[in-house]
Chain A
Amino acid sequence: MLIPCPLCGARDLREFTPKGAAVTLHRPDVGAGLDAWNDYLHLRDNPAGPTRELWWHGSGCGAWLVVERNTLTHEVSGARLAEEEAGA
């Protein structure tokens, strides 16, 4: 499997570490309450189909990426810098 790092180009899977669903980017405020935090920390969808995940290019440039991937076909349809999404 190859992941198209926006900084490095298409790179082998083994240069990356997955970090779960990209909802991690949407961190609740400190006062959001226990329910919001419980949801953020523990509750995840388990999609059969397209999904958005955080991957770390640890053996490459060190960028955190939002990777779009299909869990049924393993097709990777795109990746962008988490930084861009978080800063948007």
Chain B
Amino acid sequence: MRLASRGRIDRSVSLPFSFDGKLLTGHPGDTLASALLANDIRLMGRSFKYHRPRGVMTAGSEEPNALMEIGSGAAMVPNVRATVQELHEGLEAHSQNRWPSLSADLLACNDLLAPFLGAGFYYKTFMWPRSFWERLYEPAIRHAAGPGRLTTDPDPARHEKAFAHCDLLVIGAGPAGLMAALVAGEAGVDVILADESSEPGGRLLTEQERVGGKPAADWVAATLARLAQMDNVRIMSRTTVAGAYDGGVYAAHERVSEHLGARSKDLPLDCFWRIATRAAVLAAGAIERPIAFPDNDRPGIMMAGALRSYVNRYGVSPGRKAALFACNDDAHRTARDLQEAGMEIAGVIDPRSELPKGDYPVFSEARVVGTRGRHGLRQVQVQSASGTTSLAADVLAISGGWNPSLHLSCHMDGRPRWDETIEAFVPRPGAVPGLFAAGAANGVFDTSGCLSEGKRAAGEALATLGVAAPDWLLPEAENQAGSGKTLWLVEGRARAWLDFQNDVTAKDVKGAAQEGYDSVEYMKRYTTQGMAPDQGKSSNVNALAILADATGRSIAATGTTIYRPPYAPLPIGALGAGAQGKGFAPERFTPSHAACLARGAPMIEAGLWYRPSYFPAPGETTWRESCDREVRMVRSAVGICDVSTLGKIELQGPDVGLFLDFVYANGFSRLKPGRVRYGITLREDGHVMDDGTTARLSENHWVMTTTTAAAGQVMAHLEMVQQCFLPRARLRFTSTTDSWAQFAIAGPRALEVLNTVLDNPLRPEQFPFMACGAVRVGGVEARLFRISFSGEMAFELAVPTRVGASLWRLLLAQAEGFGGGPYGMEALNVLRIEKGLLTHAEMHGRTTAFDLGLQKMLSRKKDFIGRSASERPGLCDEGREQLVGLISRSREIGLPAGAHLFAPDAAPERINDQGYVTSSAWSPTLERHIALGFLRQGRARHGERLRLVDHLRGVDVACDVCDPVFFDPEGGRMR
């Protein structure tokens, strides 16, 4: 029912929305929960296990009952708490965990089975027979389990992630948080004030109080205006700080446009923040503590503070006649506020004897012992010294006191402390380094105390930053926290609910103690108390107290479980913002990318790079046809290949040679300017890391190339070698992979093609094999390297990336005039296998220079990374698996990579394993299936016949062992 006045809502604007298909209206300023209450809808959900009808219990993010599906189709979000969902035009909400409808839920029959479904039921029942698990138990449990449904469609929402940095993060903008932000803001440090509500102010927006001589809400407005004028203070509303991590890093979730009906395309739905701060103030307030009593879960029963929120902040009443069951003075103002708002008060029930007076029936030394009302509260049964009475009431407000919201203080394993004086857990100072709790979160509940706590905590935080806190006069405010006593449970025959989300009762907790699960951690797991998405925010302390009582211990001795991040449920989409689809990994494109696509080349991924597999010619229908043609083209005429993806590292300085001597296993310092050398690098453990060529462009200027795959690893390695082992060497280097477009021109007619693009054509003797030098291409400075990865005469021509695409087009046009064209990765691979050249299929991290047949490259004249380990006897033992070539005895059957090698007469079993295949190809040059692989003592076994078996692909074929260089072993063609 909407009240005629009160509340921070705009009654002049009507917002249409729907709930379970029914069209309703609310106002700006409403939450979904308050708007439903205004429409007299009290039944908002069904409980998870027993499908009990449930209404809204709180007005904040701790809400256990009112979970909704918001939106529809792919954009539907389940398990949204109606208490934090702001109302907007067109909002579409559905109740969940019910079938077929909220009021007639057939699974509510679980409730009748409750005597059999108590805590531990699953553990005891679904034990055996084992085979029943997969076929019967699990599908049945899964069907009934889990609040809410997930859509299986891709998430259409745009999420965002961002970083923020500040000196002080203030978590919560109630009285303590606002005061902390004011003091720190005045001190001049960078402040972020994060608050999870739609409006900062906390309970000051809810309570009928005065601060600094004016209504509390006015003081909030004035304070926010003052903070807004401070450039060093940033206020983040709708931002839930969800986790505290090492080094002052906090996770936060900001609802950016989720609350808007008409959403701008420019705004993300929400944003996941990582906030790095030097200090923090935890001013998250407190969560009201329920009292468990028989049948305490009917719609209409809610927390007293929540009821005040609905009446005072949202201008709604969940009913017409209210009762209050509380054991502290603070809660009694609920009755006064309701009466002022025009509601009838059926009675105030309090177990204490000395009570505040009021103009309504007051039952002292009394308890609520039962309730009535099927889909909503109708009647409250009260037991007092004078006997039992029934009160007609459709609202019952509960307060058992307050639990400080200390959750974040537990995120780094810190356990809270039980404070006997206020009978509540409070944060342990230092539990999260740099985090200072203040106000209600620190167990100080009166407004005046909260204001002074905020000032104190800000001062302590500023002191750790070496900044003096400014003098600040605190405004006057209410300073009576009031007295109270604890009451955890009213015993009775009917069930008294603790964890509403997981349907845990007081009896379940006692049962756990009886069955020996008397430690708090065991009790939690046995009963599932506190294990629902709300992490037992409202109920854990009551459960602990009941466990303590059942085991005859104090609460302090019983201890508590701790809270983990996130404080409130976070959308996975926000955590993974930016990583959907192509955002998962960056894409790197070569200068020829567009031209390759235009020729219809299928692209394959090489690390983050995309490279063309092959270039289909008219009439070709399989990749093999194209690949074979491209290989023959390179061997007989000329081919062009984009090799820009190779890692390129430029080194300059007088000590580059010395540095490379230490990095490479073979020597480099005596390489002459204008020459290129092939080298291998080892890891310090003696295994091969990478290979490549390094060119000495001039006395002090070198260019190193790495394989595409290892470019990043080699760069990191060079940085380490220089900084950790040769810090005094005079050199600098940087990666220039992206700065140069580099094209291989390979084949007998390579020089002819090259000369068509060079400003000054070359004669072959001018530029011998393994030469390098500066050339000009159309007036552009370029670099030329005469190196070959195909075994043919070949050049690699490098130009600045900006002219790469033009040069590619030019080279292709020229090559085609000589019977050539582009070739892709497939042909590149066949060409190098025919020549026995290595890739990371062979240098796979477990092979040594010895295994690869490169042992002669290991210099004995100098120290280098990996030298000592490479000389270990085990790494150069003749019995090791050594690189060999393999030729299939069959014209039809290839030698797949991953296949294993066996003696011809041996059973193809692991124990008889002789080696394995690493690279495989059909060689159009040899017209045979060939492969590279590793074979035990392989170099001594050329000419031997072996059995090759691939169990996975069902291949079993004979092959011959040979030298890994299949074609032109003397290398005459490339020279």
Interface residues of chain A, those whose CB is within 8 Å of chain B, are: 1-3, 10, 12-13, 17, 19, 24-25, 27-30, 32, 34, 37, 41, 54, 56, 58, 62-64, 74-76, 81-84, 86-87
Contacts and interface: CB of A to CB of B under 8 A. Distances in A.
Nearest to A14: B274
A30 B868 contact: yes
14 contacts: A2-B246, A2-B248, A10-B276, A13-B246, A30-B863, A32-B868, A54-B724, A64-B723, A64-B724, A74-B247, A74-B412, A75-B433, A86-B723, A86-B725
A2 B868 contact: no
Interface in B712-742: 716, 719-720, 723-725, 727-728
Tell me if A's interface is mostly helix, strand, loop or mixed: mixed
A34 B719 CA distance: 26
Contacts of B163: 12
B190 to A, nearest CB: 14
Interface in B625-681: none
Interface in B867-913: 867-869, 872
Contacts of B684: 27, 41
A2 B869 CA distance: 35
B866 to A, nearest CB: 10
A37 B723 contact: no
Given A2-B249, A41-B684, A56-B720, A87 B868 contact: no
A41 B869 contact: yes
A1 B412 CA distance: 12
A32 B867 CA distance: 12
A64 B720 contact: yes
A10 B868 CA distance: 37
B105 interface: no
B245 interface: yes
Given A41-B684, A75-B433, A25 B863 contact: no
Contact of A24 (B249, B276, B719, B724): B724
B816 interface: no
A23 B416 CA distance: 39
A40 to B, nearest CB: 8
Contacts of A29: 863
Contact of B728 (A32, A54, A63, A87): A87
Contacts of B249: 1-2, 12
Given A2-B247, A2-B248, A74-B246, A87 B869 contact: no
A41 B685 contact: yes
Contacts of A34: 868, 872
A76 to B, nearest CB: 6
B724 A82 contact: yes
B247 A58 contact: no
A62 B872 CA distance: 32
Contacts of B724: 24-25, 54, 64, 82-83, 86
Contacts of A81: 723
Nearest to A25: B724
A72 B581 CA distance: 38
A34 B874 CA distance: 12
Sorted from nearest, which 5 A-B pairs have the closest CB atoms? A2-B247, A1-B246, A87-B727, A30-B863, A74-B246
Nearest to A19: B720
B716 A17 contact: yes
Given A12-B276, A24-B724, A83-B727, A37 B868 contact: yes
A81 B719 CA distance: 12
Given A2-B246, A58-B716, 16 more contacts: A1-B246, A2-B249, A12-B249, A25-B724, A30-B863, A30-B867, A37-B869, A41-B869, A56-B716, A63-B723, A64-B719, A64-B720, A74-B412, A76-B247, A82-B720, A82-B724
Nearest to A69: B246
Nearest to B728: A87
Contacts of B719: 56, 62-64
Interface in B574-595: none
Contacts of A13: 246-247
B247 A83 contact: no
A22 to B, nearest CB: 9
Contacts of A17: 716
Contacts of A3: 247
Contacts of B716: 17, 56, 58
A58 B715 CA distance: 9
Contacts of A82: 720, 723-724
Interface string B671-698: 0000000000000110000000000000
Contacts of A75: 246, 433
A42 to B, nearest CB: 8
Nearest to B433: A75
Nearest to B163: A12
B556 to A, nearest CB: 25
Contacts of A87: 727-728
A28 B868 contact: yes
Contacts of B685: 41
A28 B921 CA distance: 44
A27 B433 CA distance: 37
Interface in B408-454: 412, 433
Contacts of A28: 868
Contact of A83 (B245, B723, B869, B872): B723
Contacts of B863: 29-30
A86 B727 contact: yes
Contacts of A32: 868
B227 to A, nearest CB: 26
Contacts of B723: 63-64, 81-83, 86
Contacts of A10: 247, 276
Interface string B90-128: 000000000000000000000000000000000000000
A13 B727 CA distance: 25
A30 B870 CA distance: 11
Interface in B275-298: 276
A81 B728 CA distance: 14
Nearest to A1: B246
A30 B246 CA distance: 40
A27 B866 CA distance: 11
